[in-house]
Structure 1
């Protein structure tokens, strides 16, 4: 089961968002773009059995505009099957819809109101039988009001927030990793085929674990039933009969009231994790944030290893507290979990995007039209995948986090551009600009296509006569393709250096000046020399470089 689409209106920073969500969805974008608010919207409406008007307040409305209404709808795939009566046919619920609004008239006018609806694939309200079906009686139908708890329970949601509190992942928490695991363990425990051998009177016999558990609990209850316990039970029963207008001495058969031990699932829910430090046992919930985070992620890995299926996991910043190697390891775990569960996570680390699974990336951007989501439309074929496995390392993966991206052939441009930027008081990091050297001219097109598919503003710099090409006719055709990427609105810009940057720069400052600079920095590689020359404030910044920096600033 997964959320295949979510629509959000007027919730926090999100005015109007409509995005599809892959099986594994990496929500990527700048700070305050709205990534966390997407997870929060899902958690608010699906992460609680009793969501109502009190689940929201006026601060949750975009711009705190009280004339707006919050709307959240989740399309579930495959549809949820539901029937109001056992004998009825299943109806298929495709969309769970939620609306936080206000009463428009009457005594409650202006008070918060919360509407929940079950919709079909066309967005129409589901209708169900009004009464249990009977032979010879014409069935009557009525709209399904609200979202019954039986439907919510079919959407197992697990949330791991930035506060890696272990308390939220213990079995006692309704929507936790361990609750999901122990629910399945409990089903297995109650299976009659799950037996245990017991010895009695020098004989052995097989009995189901569940039956044996109940036997032992009855024995435990007999020990608990002290005189005070029995008196308390009798007192409650007597007073309950009086409250109901019955005679506690005569009508004892009208109400059978007694204490019973917890069922097996309640035992699992009461489990705690303990850490032994020296001679002391401490609840793991009392440990530091780093330890709690490690345990939560260990539970996630255990969840994967036990192959639990069908859950929807929401994870905020899984890279927190982890060094790069562990980030890569956790990324592999998330991918394995995502094979049989949906995983939706926010991310700021390129280590979670350093493999060619760009079809998992949902780019979240906030612009003049509010928060929007973008999925790549590029076909993720094997040829492209193999190329990206080779070329898209974590450093180059920073392109997915860029507000503006500069794609360059190699180290020369990568080293000199930040120096020229500093000369015009442009802090590339502050404006969210990233320079990515793609490892050669031939890679420019592939990186440009990926960037453009995610609506990332991209600037491309290339040499017209690069060493990558031996066939100059082929190179000229490639140059024309790069030039053709430029758009009239400036979201894609292309600049070229005639022959190469060294030749272009020589023509800009004159041969004599160029030779003086070369003699000043002898025995240095071209990229290093280009960076050192860029630091020479007595020489003007090349015109093309100024155009590039002006585009970044704009």
Structure 2
């Protein structure tokens, strides 16, 4: 069983999205791209307990907060009965008139009220699911990633065609009740019946969707509250602890603070004496303290697990442990649920939270073995490198709220082996960012971010660090690799810039075809750019600060007099060790070469233009960067 396709409309920051998912997937992209929105959408459709919340959705779950049709007002804002009149003037929405229908959905004339719609297609059904959902199953063609709809029944016998199920969630605002409603239906019933069939909580439990949010504290996980992870595990194992009566009887016989030396019993006796002066004994006598209100529900809330950590035997409530320990406990319990159910879809946000790298990898491998499908989000290279290219779902969302999946297409110069070997150092950061600066080599990749950061410290109103602009720097490895590396990220919908030495006309044209902004100076090397355009005072000051290697002190007996030549050799010797970056980090604004200052301003203006440029960054359609003016 797996979710093969997810379609979302008008939900949170997503106006529209249709995402195809592999058996195991990791969703990646910059923050606020829509990764969590997709998982929350799955939870609305498949989560057994999600719709128990009242209301199941709210204003902020609608795209841009719009949930009213034109001319529609909430019930308490307009005249009484306005909602009913609006309803009478409009066609019925799916579910109107049924017990589980979308009663109260209103629309203004010519424009329906916005509605959240989420459709999930589930393929590779188990025999149990086929038997339960038989009236509503369809056929999914894994070869084309579409539903099989040909008028040839024999075609479903092909190995790549499997039985599948479609389920749809509808969410809307009901002006008569002045509240939000949400229902989940079998998708086929929406089209085939005036009274669509609800996809019930029991149906969802048969599907087995588990969702672990990144911000989950686990404070209830090891308690006996209804719906806690421990309660779910007990129900799955059909364990019904018959402990309530004995526990309640024990607590009922225990009187708190009954020892007269404590003084509390004496105060209660005086209250009892005073009470008898005013009311008959039938009204109430002999107040005393008990442990609780003595109901099962109270016990469920207060019973929790204690855990001993470290070398001693002292135990504390599990939710008072470290964040990493809590996360691993919650994960262990979820994996227990997955193991017991044998057939689950497991969604998890950021498994790296408070977890060391080796444990991150263990989590991914163990969950993949236990679940029929896993869907992760992550910013960790240790997690991301565990997924193949076809399992890596790169997400991008445009200014209109349309979310799309992009495929990582490696250029000819980047072989799969190189991609895997250099993933942490060269590719990972670019996959997670919106803006990429492709640098010609290690020197530019290390030095230019330092320059921008230094200038932003010296004059923050004029300059900005690359980090503040959301720009990550990628080392292309050579000037000939810049076009291919830029193309890789451009085709993923990123805004791409480049910085390099003076290029021949042919290679310059190749680079310009792939980037939005090319920062190219006129020197043959970055070291020449700096040494020729800084001050002697800055060079001599830096020469006194560093620890010179013996071979250079022997070559230049008078380092101050030979500062330029000595530092040229030093920068070459430390080319892969931040030598020139360290020099620029201690320069004043005037000591930093003018070309670098202008480049910092240029990239700031491109990423975040000031009021003269429209007051903010203009939306750029994915892949459109290369068409911008250079």
TM range (shorter): 0.5 to 0.7
Could you say if the C-alpha distance between residues 354 and 177 of structure 1 is closer, same or farther in structure 2, counting changes exceeding 3 Å? farther
The answer to whether 1:293 aligns with 2:343 is: no
Per the alignment, residue 416 of structure 1 pairs with 447
Question: How far is the alpha carbon of 1:368 from its aligned partner?
Answer: 2.5
Whole-Å separation in 2 of the counterparts to 1:533 and 1:414 = 15
Greater shift after overlay, 312-321 or 50-59?
50-59
Per the alignment, residue 312 of structure 1 pairs with 345
Matched position secondary structure for 2:598: helix
Q: 2:182 aligns with which of 97, 114, 121?
A: 114
Please give the per-residue CA displacement for 1:48-107, whole angstroms capped at 9, x wherever unaligned: 257277312334333433313222222222368899999986743632111112457xxx
Q: 1:321 aligns with which of 354, 357, 364?
A: 354
* C-alpha contact (below 8 Å) 1:462/1:497 kept by paired residues: no
Per the alignment, residue 115 of structure 2 pairs with 69
Could you say if the C-alpha distance between residues 382 and 97 of structure 1 is closer, same or farther in structure 2, counting changes exceeding 3 Å? farther
Could you say if the C-alpha distance between residues 438 and 275 of structure 1 is closer, same or farther in structure 2, counting changes exceeding 3 Å? same
* C-alpha contact (below 8 Å) 1:4/1:75 kept by paired residues: yes
Whole-Å separation in 1 of the counterparts to 2:412 and 2:4 = 22
Could you say if the C-alpha distance between residues 48 and 455 of structure 1 is closer, same or farther in structure 2, counting changes exceeding 3 Å? same
Please give the per-residue CA displacement for 1:440-463, whole angstroms capped at 9, x wherever unaligned: 445545543432232121222344
Q: 2:514 aligns with which of 485, 495, 509?
A: 485
Q: How does 1:391-540 map to 2 (within 5 A)?
A: 391-393=422-424, 396-421=427-452, 422-423=454-455, 425-441=463-479, 443-445=481-483, 447-463=485-501, 481-486=510-515, 490=516, 493=518, 495=520, 499-502=524-527, 518-519=564-565, 521=567, 523-526=569-572, 527=575, 528=578, 530-531=580-581, 534=584, 535=587, 537-539=589-591
Per the alignment, residue 167 of structure 1 pairs with 220
Could you say if the C-alpha distance between residues 355 and 384 of structure 1 is closer, same or farther in structure 2, counting changes exceeding 3 Å? farther
Could you say if the C-alpha distance between residues 112 and 88 of structure 1 is closer, same or farther in structure 2, counting changes exceeding 3 Å? closer
Matched position secondary structure for 1:55: coil
Whole-Å separation in 2 of the counterparts to 1:59 and 1:464 = 50
* C-alpha contact (below 8 Å) 2:25/2:376 kept by paired residues: yes
Please give the per-residue CA displacement for 1:331-375, whole angstroms capped at 9, x wherever unaligned: 4445545xx532223323333224673443334455521362432
Could you say if the C-alpha distance between residues 83 and 28 of structure 1 is closer, same or farther in structure 2, counting changes exceeding 3 Å? closer
Matched position secondary structure for 2:430: helix
Question: How far is the alpha carbon of 1:29 from its aligned partner?
Answer: 3.3
Matched position secondary structure for 1:292: helix
Whole-Å separation in 2 of the counterparts to 1:148 and 1:32 = 31
Please give the per-residue CA displacement for 1:377-425, whole angstroms capped at 9, x wherever unaligned: 5269998321112211257522223232112233211232123313253
Please give the per-residue CA displacement for 1:458-488, whole angstroms capped at 9, x wherever unaligned: 22234467xxxxxxxxx997665444323xx
Could you say if the C-alpha distance between residues 48 and 399 of structure 1 is closer, same or farther in structure 2, counting changes exceeding 3 Å? same
TM-score (norm 1): 0.64
Could you say if the C-alpha distance between residues 158 and 410 of structure 1 is closer, same or farther in structure 2, counting changes exceeding 3 Å? same
Q: How does 1:175-194 map to 2 (within 5 A)?
A: 179=232, 183=236
* C-alpha contact (below 8 Å) 2:395/2:406 kept by paired residues: no
Could you say if the C-alpha distance between residues 307 and 360 of structure 1 is closer, same or farther in structure 2, counting changes exceeding 3 Å? farther
Matched position secondary structure for 1:321: coil
The answer to whether 1:125 aligns with 2:190 is: yes
* C-alpha contact (below 8 Å) 1:274/1:284 kept by paired residues: yes
Whole-Å separation in 1 of the counterparts to 2:132 and 2:23 = 32
Matched position secondary structure for 1:167: coil
Choose between structure 1 and 2: higher strand proportion: 1
Q: How does 1:231-310 map to 2 (within 5 A)?
A: 275-276=307-308, 284=318, 287-299=321-333, 309-310=342-343
The answer to whether 1:147 aligns with 2:212 is: no
Computed over aligned residues only, the root mean square deviation of the Cα atoms, in angstroms, reads 4.8
Question: How far is the alpha carbon of 1:8 from its aligned partner?
Answer: 2.5
Whole-Å separation in 2 of the counterparts to 1:522 and 1:464 = 19
* C-alpha contact (below 8 Å) 1:2/1:76 kept by paired residues: yes
Could you say if the C-alpha distance between residues 303 and 499 of structure 1 is closer, same or farther in structure 2, counting changes exceeding 3 Å? farther
* C-alpha contact (below 8 Å) 1:375/1:454 kept by paired residues: yes
Question: How far is the alpha carbon of 1:181 from its aligned partner?
Answer: 10
Question: How far is the alpha carbon of 1:156 from its aligned partner?
Answer: 0.6
The answer to whether 1:368 aligns with 2:414 is: no
Could you say if the C-alpha distance between residues 448 and 176 of structure 1 is closer, same or farther in structure 2, counting changes exceeding 3 Å? farther
Could you say if the C-alpha distance between residues 331 and 445 of structure 1 is closer, same or farther in structure 2, counting changes exceeding 3 Å? farther
Matched position secondary structure for 2:51: coil
Question: How far is the alpha carbon of 1:550 from its aligned partner?
Answer: 1.5
Whole-Å separation in 2 of the counterparts to 1:295 and 1:314 = 16
Matched position secondary structure for 2:445: helix
Give the gaps of 5 or more residues in structure 1: 128-140, 187-212, 225-270, 466-474
Matched position secondary structure for 2:206: coil
Whole-Å separation in 2 of the counterparts to 1:85 and 1:525 = 71
Give the gaps of 5 or more residues in structure 2: 69-113, 139-163, 247-302, 457-462, 540-560, 608-630
Whole-Å separation in 1 of the counterparts to 2:413 and 2:531 = 43
Please give the per-residue CA displacement for 1:461-516, whole angstroms capped at 9, x wherever unaligned: 34467xxxxxxxxx997665444323xxx3x65747664334566787899x9998
Whole-Å separation in 2 of the counterparts to 1:155 and 1:317 = 23
